[in-house]
Structure 1
């Protein structure tokens, strides 16, 4: 569905203004200097993590051959930032404990690789639903959740991909990233001692795959508006909960967890930022779904009329309030455990960048 460019800009302006206002009122906007410094740090972290992940992903290649060709430098930077966001999020949740250097490094890479894998799967589901749904089916068929508990043989997922499917470079790279996540998950939480964490992560992975499938697949099953909204929420919240368990090394965390709060904040921010895009693509958007009490389908609505209605209502401003409240609460829960606030600033820099928010002042 074509959305006029002028209307897209109008929606983006209202969203940006609402988020900036609520974040500013709660001290969640970085200064120009703090933002620039944080972004420089996460770019460097992304480059470092990308080199490490490529080494692990292609350890089966010829000795010394560790080069991966991306579409362009921007694509490589986006991949690196996806890894860095997983690492930064993990550093928010991590608490001092007796973990040797090798395990600590493996935990960082597992969180980074998991976040990248989740983003790649989501990108496939949004951009090419047929490919995304097929990958989700394969992941469920090979028991990804079980692989978190008991280590897979090397190359298990790649060998399960049908030949035409595996020829897609994004699918092939995603499979290697998922295998890297599983390898480093077991290295960071090994043996019987790490089994409770791996069990919990496996259970959450199972829920996350099913939630992603439900939000993409037009199932004949009767799904209410509230069920759709909950599936949408789970696709954002469950990844944060998984990283939280990995970073804390704990199979159980007191509720509501910081991961839940941050996931709910990012869920709302994501759907606000993608309002016009989701209407144009006919994709599930919880902000739009919340505007009606009827079973909701983006593909069946008049996109222009829907967006005009949303702009004139208070749904954007109310959603921005909810996002800011949960972001503030989630960051307060984790920053209380830390003597410095660098991870806090790095996390906020990602939020600024993703939501397109200008720094303070």
Structure 2
């Protein structure tokens, strides 16, 4: 498919989203005997899943109505069923309502979702791949539901610990999906390397997005940890929330937790790859995202 981006910065973000999914998969994948075609399909599946998750999150943050509608359509189409039995080519894009089909970001997101499903079935085909596809389907359904709840908050979702748990899921679940894809294992002992890396990136995400989330009233675990008053999406004071964060020690504590989870996740990565090229590339992406100068 041919895609034209608005500018080089947008194209670079797309490239980095794909590359980070691929690097994460390389870090988590065990050494195993599979065909080059299957390996390539799995790599593309991991890359497209990571990009798709980021695009859905961006759509939900930037245009919540469109994001929620896309999530509703995916649920109505039986997402778990799509991981069991492949869709016809273009099925998702063919049923998008006008507000989504005419939105360039939403339409591109739908293309990436379809690419993920197509390569999932190539990488794990037929009956022999069914268990992995089922597990990927179950995990990704949880991820989609967490994303929905993070945007469409209601009285069922008012307690601070519930909101923090949902915030964690939106970051951790994508890493668990990629880990499942990369390993092809029917079961992975917990806590997994993917889970630990996801928890590190959850904290890093919320630190990076702190000011923007405070202004938008978006779900952010750092704000939730520091804010003394009950949180409300409709009546938030971003400046007051940031003042509470700055006068607390939550930023330092969150940074320490992120570093600890990152170190543990790299150490737990399969085949001792924490010090490998994949481990170094993963850290390079983290440094770039967090705008930190690498050391050593």
Q: Normalised by the size of structure 2, how large is the TM-score?
A: 0.96
The equivalent of 2:114 in structure 1 is 179
What residue is the counterpart of 1:307 in the other structure? Answer: 242
Flag the 1:339–1:219 CA change in 2: closer, same or farther, 3 A.
closer
Other-structure match for 2:277 = 342
Aligned to 2:199: 264
Shift of 1:154: 1.3
Residue 102 of structure 2 is matched in structure 1 by: 167
For the pair 1:277 / 2:212, whether they are aligned, the reply is: yes
1:127 aligned partner:
62
- Structure 1 distance, partners of 2:111, 2:289, is 26
Residue 286 of structure 1: which of 196, 218, 221 is its match? 221
| Distance (Å, rounded) in 2 between the aligned partners of 1:145 and 1:300 | 36
Number of the residue aligned with 1:207 = 142
Deviations 1:127-163 (A, max 9, x none): 1111111111111111122111111111111122113
C-alpha distance in structure 2 between counterparts of 1:313 and 1:306, whole Å: 11
Contact 2:274 2:280 in 1 (8 A): no
SS of the residue aligned with 1:337? Answer: helix
Deviation at 1:359? 2.4
> Residue 98 of structure 1 aligns to a residue in which SS?
coil
How many aligned positions are there? Answer: 296
Contact 2:68 2:148 in 1 (8 A): yes
**Alignment partner, residue 252 of structure 2:** 317
Q: Distance in 2 between matches of 1:211 and 1:185?
A: 22
**1:242 aligns to what?**
177
Tell me if structure 1 keeps the 8 A contact 2:172–2:198: yes
Higher relative contact order (CA 8 A, sep 6+): 1
Q: Hey, what's the Cα distance between the residues in 1 that align with 2:272 and 2:228?
A: 41
Note the residue ranges of structure 2 that are not aligned, 5 or more in a row.
none
SS in 2 for 1:70: coil
| Counterpart Cα distance in 1 of 2:165 and 2:228 | 14
Contact 2:287 2:294 in 1 (8 A): yes
Q: Secondary structure of 1:301's match?
A: coil
Distance 1:339 1:202, change over 3 A: closer
Deviation at 1:297, TM superposition (A): 2.2
Q: What's the secondary structure of 1:152's corresponding residue? A: coil
Displacement after TM superposition at 1:108 (Å): 0.3
Q: Which has the larger radius of gyration?
A: 1
Q: Spell out structure 1 runs of 4+ moving beyond 3 A.
A: 292-295
Residues in 2 aligned to 1:222 and 1:163: alpha-carbon distance in whole angstroms: 31
In structure 2, distance between residues paired with 1:185 and 1:230: 28
Structure 2 distance, partners of 1:263, 1:251, is 20
Cα separation, partners in 2 of 1:193 and 1:281, compared to 1, 3 Å: same
RMSD: 1.6
2:264 corresponds to 1:332: no
SS at the partner of 2:242?
Answer: helix
For residues 280-310 of structure 1, what are the alpha-carbon distances to aligned partners after superposition, in whole Å with 9 as ceiling and x for unaligned? 1111111111224664225523322221221
Matched, 1:355 2:290: yes
Kindly indicate whether the alpha-carbon contact (under 8 Å) linking 1:82 and 1:119 is maintained by their aligned counterparts in 2. yes
Residues 208 and 238 of structure 1 are in contact (CA less than 8 Å); yes or no, is this contact kept in structure 2? Answer: yes
Aligned CA distance change for structure 1 residues 353 and 110 (closer, same or farther; 3 Å) = same
Q: In structure 1, what is the Cα distance between the partners aligned to 2:200 and 2:274?
A: 24
Give, in whole Å, the separation in 2 of the partners of 1:222 and 1:258. Answer: 29
Partner of 1:83: 18
Which runs of no fewer than 5 residues in structure 1 stay unpaired? 1-57, 59-66
